[in-house]
Structure 1
Amino acid sequence: MEQTPYKKLDLPHGHCLEIFDDSRKIGADAWVVIMTATMKIPVETSLFASEPLSDDKFNDILKALGSPIEYRYRLERNMIMDHEKDAVLENLVNTFLENTGKYVANSKFPAKLALKAYRDRVEKRKKK
C-alpha cells in the first residue's frame, strides 16, 4: 500500500518521525481516516551511549532485531464523511503529537525501544 506523507519531524535525538495519511475510501462519501507515525532507528553502538553494552550483548541485540528497527503507531477513525476527513486527520495528528510526541522525542526513547524489542524477542524465544 502506498503511503501518503503528511508530516516529517526531525527530533532532538537525531531520528526522524514520519507521519502518514493512510486513509482509504470505504463508500461513496465515507472514509476510514488513518494516521500512521513511524520512525526508523538504526541499531548502532552509539544508540546505547547512555547505557553502554558489552560487545557480546550489542551483537546479540543486533542479531535478534536486525537494523533498523521501526517504531510504528497508528490511530484510526471509521465512517468519516468526505467533508470531515481532513479535519479528523489533523485532529488525530495533533492528538498523537500532544500525547505521545514528547515521549518519542525523548533522548532515551530510541535505546529503550530497542532494548524492549530485544527483551520481547528473548522472551518469545524462551517460550518456544
Structure 2
Amino acid sequence: MAYEWLPPTRDYQPLWPGKLVEVRNLPNGLTLEIWDYSRKLAGDRWLIGMLAQIEVKVGAEHFSAPEMFERFLQETGGVIYYRYRKERHFVDEKERNQVFETIKDHFLKAALEYLSHPSFRDRLIQSEIPLFERKVRWEEEIRRKDEEAERLEELWKDRPI
C-alpha cells in the first residue's frame, strides 16, 4: 500500500513535515483544515501535495451496539475524518507555489458549498460508521475462522491420511 501523508498528532509523526496553510470555520459548525505537504523529489522537481480534512466527533447514538462504540473509541479516539488529497508530481520548483494555490483554489471552488451544507456532518457519519462496523464484523469472522482452522488442525494433526 502506498504511503499517504497525514498531519502530525500526539501519537503520529509523518515521514516528512507538512504545513497547515488555512483553517476555515464552515457555516455548519465544522472546521476545514488545508495542509501543504509538498516536498522536494529530485533536483528542482517537487511533489506538490494538498490535504483537506474535516474532523467530526461521533457519539454512541450512531452505533448499532455499545460494544461497537467502545471499539471505535479505542481505534479512532471517537472521531472520523473527511479527507481529500490532491498531488502533482515533478513540478518545477519555480512553479510550486502557483501549482499549490491552483489545486487549493479549484478544490475550494468545487467542494466548499458541499462541505458547508447543514447535513454534511450527518451524511458523513451515516456513510463512515456502517463501514467501520462492517470492518469490525469482518475482522471478527476472520478471527473465528482462523481459530476454527487451528482447532481442526490440532484435532487432526496425528491422524493418518
Range class of TM-score, shorter chain: 0.7 to 0.9
Q: Which has the higher contact order (CA 8 A, sep 6+)?
A: 1
Name stretches of at least 5 consecutive residues in structure 1 with no aligned partner. Answer: 46-52
1:32-47 to 2 correspondence within 5 Å? 32-44=47-59
Structure 1 partner of 2:21: 6
Aligned-partner SS, 1:26: strand
Structure 2 partner of 1:69: 80
Greater Rg, structure 1 or structure 2? 2
TM-score (norm 1): 0.81
Q: How many residues align?
A: 120
1:83 aligns with one of 89, 94, 98: 94
Name stretches of at least 5 consecutive residues in structure 2 with no aligned partner. Answer: 1-13, 142-161
Whole-angstrom CA distance in 2 between matches of 1:97 and 1:117: 23
Q: Percent identity?
A: 26
1:43-78 CA-to-partner distances (Å, cap 9, x unmatched) read 147xxxxxxx68x74856643543121111100001
Structure 2 partner of 1:19: 34
TM-score (norm 2): 0.66
Q: Is the 8 A contact 1:3 1:20 kept in 2?
A: yes
1:113 is aligned to 2:128: no
